[in-house]
Amino acid sequence: METRQKVFSGLQPTGNIHIGNYLGALKNWVSFQDSYETVYCVVDLHAITVPYDPVEFKKDRIAAAKVLLAMGIDPERSMFYFQSQVPQHAELSWILGTMTPTGVLNRMTQYKEKADKVGANLGLYSYPVLMAADILLFNADLVPVGDDQRQHLEMARDLAERFNNRFGEVFHIPEAYIPDVSARIMSLTDPQVKMSKSDANPKSMVLVLDVPDAINKKIKSAVTDSDPGVRYDPTEKPGISNLLEIMSACTGVSIDALVDEYATSGYGVFKQAVADVVIEEFAPIRVAYERLDDADVARMMHKGALDARIAAEAYQAKVRAAVGLDRI
């Protein structure tokens, strides 16, 4: 029997799923379903490492699941569930935590940034260990993520090697899958910084569920520069280069071909073309989202978690046996 390579990835359920998430990772999640065995997870345990409102959070969790389903995550083809409903994630995280040097965690740039903003806590500190557990739990081969997760992926690989060296070959060493174009979509209001869900300025990001008018306004008011040529130069022209990446990733047309087409058209025409492409990309997702019923989706996610618990348990039994925690 053919065994397909396994893909795992996760998305934090915060309200603002944006075009960076979509083009950096989620678009690949959908297409990987055609050729891989895919496991996708709404990582709600990761999301509670920063301050949050439980009532809003409950809505955001189901909304995130709905966005992913609306994009084309197909529960018939992918294992799809909430992380908190599969306790093996937390169990493996604890075991991996016992072999994670704190010096490594101290160097994690996302931890340092978030701890500066919201205050440090143990969950935030061990966030990358839980992420490694997510990936290793199902023995994933490939992990589609944006560029900002590179360091976390390196750590997951190191932990897998460390574990295998000490306890025998249990884990595959996973590879990150980071797209060439759109691995790091920048803020529309400050193209020097990454587009981020936690940005307080709503104009900094196009949301997957934005209506066409909002997409139009945000892209048309995107910060660019005063030299009018459309060229790809992330250092000198970060705003225009960001829009070129967005357009290229949505259409599949190369950046060079887009530059040829829009080099002299002026920013107004170019921005309108980018807005039109993004509106077209997101329109079917919004329509599909509106059709989904919360209670149906909750049931679907329960079913996904049941399947995932059974699959995870088979792997986790091997981990327990390797470390001497097997059931006796």
Helical packing angle, 150-167 and 127-137, nearest 10°: 60
Q: Please return the burial class of 40, using the count of CB atoms within 10 Å of its CB with bins 0-12, 13-18 and 19+.
A: buried
Tell me which residue has tokens 């893909």: 7
Amino acid at residue number 324: G
Least Cα distance to 17 among 43, 49, 50 occurs for 43
Does residue 184 touch ligand TYM according to CB under 6 A? Answer: yes
Residue 24 CB, nearest approach to ligand TYM (Å)? 2
Residue nearest to ligand TYM (CB): 24
Euclidean distance between CA atoms 81 and 300, whole angstroms: 8
Residue 206 CB, nearest approach to ligand TYM (Å)? 11
Helical packing angle, 294-323 and 88-97, nearest 10°: 40
Does residue 46 touch ligand TYM according to CB under 6 A? Answer: yes
Given the residues 194, 217, 220, 318, select the one marked as catalytic: 194
Residue 156 CB, nearest approach to ligand TYM (Å)? 8
Only segment of 5-13, 225-233, 286-294, 317-325 that touches ligand TYM (CB under 6 A): 5-13
Only segment of 3-11, 55-63, 214-222, 273-281 that touches ligand TYM (CB under 6 A): 3-11
Does residue 86 touch ligand TYM according to CB under 6 A? Answer: no
Q: What is the bridge-based pairing of β-strands 175-177 and 37-42?
A: unpaired
Residue 3 CB, nearest approach to ligand TYM (Å)? 21
User: Does the annotation mark 114 as catalytic?
Assistant: yes
CB closer to ligand TYM out of 60 and 134: 134
Contact 50, 79 (CB under 8 A): no
Site residues for ligand TYM, 229-248, by CB under 6 A, read none
Euclidean distance between CA atoms 209 and 220, whole angstroms: 18
Question: Left (φ > 0), alpha (ψ -120 to 50) or beta: where does 72 sit?
Answer: left
Binding mask 112-151 toward ligand TYM (x if CB under 6 A, else -) reads -------------------x--xx-------x-xx-xx--
CB closer to ligand TYM out of 75 and 174: 174
Site residues for ligand TYM, 185-224, by CB under 6 A, read 185, 194-195
Residue 40 backbone phi and psi in degrees, to 5:
-125, 140
Amino acid at residue number 127: Y
Biggest alpha carbon–alpha carbon distance for the chain: 73
Does residue 97 touch ligand TYM according to CB under 6 A? Answer: no
Euclidean distance between CA atoms 44 and 52, whole angstroms: 11
What letter does residue 202 receive in the DSSP assignment? G
CB closer to ligand TYM out of 12 and 88: 12
Does residue 28 touch ligand TYM according to CB under 6 A? Answer: no
Residue 196 backbone phi and psi in degrees, to 5:
-140, 140
Amino acid at residue number 238: P
Given the residues 27, 114, 218, 237, select the one marked as catalytic: 114
Only segment of 8-16, 73-81, 225-233, 245-253 that touches ligand TYM (CB under 6 A): 8-16
* Active-site residue list: 114, 194, 197
- Write out the residues near ligand TYM by the rule CB under 6 A: 8-12, 20-21, 24-25, 43, 46, 131, 134-135, 143, 145-146, 148-149, 152, 183-185, 194-195
